Amino acid sequence: MATACASVLDSCAAAVAHLALPAATAERVSGYVSELLTYNERTNVYSKSAYEKLPFHVADSVTLALDIRDGRAAQRGVLDLGSGSGLPSVIIACVNPELPVFAVESKSRKTRFLTHAARRLGLENYTPLTQNVNELSRSWYFDVDVVTAKAFKPLPEVGPIGAKCILGDAQLLVPISEAQVLEFELGEERLARHGDFLYFSEALSPTRDSSTRKLVTREAARTSRL
């Protein structure tokens, strides 16, 4: 790996060092960053001009993943909308490898990377889907209890889209900035704060009938055209 990429990898490791992750978890997180940087040398899935911000986004995603783990918010699974290059979905899976994590992303070049990373990291419960989430939700639903998204849509649009995708009640957890708190005039009761990181939290209830739709499972994703 080039020296610049090695420096970014070291910076990402330093950004999460204070979280005292178990060795196996830290290795998976570091492995994801390494796979992302290496893959990005030949296929653009993450802007190289944003590498300096990657340590923050990795730490943000790890903090969210720990909140999901420690808060026991997720028992059935997690749905990530607009997964991009895997922040936060791959890291949620790295921290919670036993938990089903579904990553919906419309760009196939990015889901190819997500599939590659999951295979290399041994994330057997991680399922990338190359789909437009609005089209997918017309015929399929997810049995999950956490919905998340990062840089997907404007915040007010994320909850309604997530509500179309779920079978039962779920919690929306979206990484946001202080600027968004001001922009959308969010009260503290809508926020979860963890050090430098901030998450919008909202209860979701399904808005589409499940009787005419089918359940997305890892097996269905492997064998069916969703």
Which pLDDT value is given to residue 41?
95
Q: What is the CATH number of the domain that holds 37?
A: 3.40.50.150
Which pLDDT value is given to residue 220?
84
Which pLDDT value is given to residue 224?
67
Query: How many Å apart are CA 51 and CA 57, to the nearest integer?
Result: 10
Query: How many Å apart are CA 212 and CA 92, to the nearest integer?
Result: 30
Please, how many CA atoms are within 13 Å of residue 56, restricted to the half-sphere of its CB?
11
Q: Which residues contact 121 (CB under 8 A, 6 or more apart)?
A: 28, 31, 32, 35, 90, 93, 94
Which pLDDT value is given to residue 40?
97
Which pLDDT value is given to residue 72?
64
Tally of domains in the chain: 1
CA quadruple 133, 134, 137, 143: dihedral sign = positive
Which pLDDT value is given to residue 223?
77
Q: In terms of residue numbers, what domain contains 84?
A: 3-223
Q: Is the pTM of this model over 0.85?
A: yes
Which pLDDT value is given to residue 4?
73
Which pLDDT value is given to residue 1?
52
Which pLDDT value is given to residue 63?
97
Residue of 198, 139, 206, 140 lying closest to 169 (CA atoms): 206
Q: For the chain, which ranges sit under pLDDT 70?
A: 1-2, 72-74, 224-225
Residue of 90, 151, 88 lying closest to 116 (CA atoms): 90
